[in-house]
Amino acid sequence: MPDLTYTQLTATIDAFQAGAARSRDTIENDARKIEDLAQDTYRIAESIKTLCVDSATVAETDELGAIMQALSVAATSYAVGGDVTASAAKTTADQIRATHAGIHEAYGRSPVDLSNLNREWLRQE
Give a yes or no: residue 37 inside a domain. yes
In a domain, 22, yes or no: no
Rounded CA-CA distance 92/69 in Å is 35
Residue 88: inside a domain: yes
Q: What is the pLDDT of residue 104?
A: 67
Amino acid at 56: A
For the chain, the helix, strand and coil percentages under 3-state DSSP, each to the nearest 5: 85, 0, 15
pLDDT at 2: 60
Question: Does residue 103 belong to any structural domain of this protein?
Answer: yes
**Does the residue 120 lie in any domain?**
no
Does 21 have pLDDT greater than 70? yes
Q: What is the phi-psi region of residue 15: left when phi exceeds 0, alpha when psi lies from -120 to 50, beta otherwise?
A: alpha
pLDDT digits 0-9 by tens, 66-122:
999 999 999 999 888 888 888 888 888 888 888 877 776 776 777 777 677 777 776
Q: What is the structure's pLDDT at 70?
A: 95
118 falls within a domain: no
Q: Is residue 64 part of a domain?
A: yes
The number of domains in the chain is 1
Residues of the domain holding 99: 6-12+27-107
pLDDT digits (tens, 9 = 90+) for 32-41: 999 999 999 9
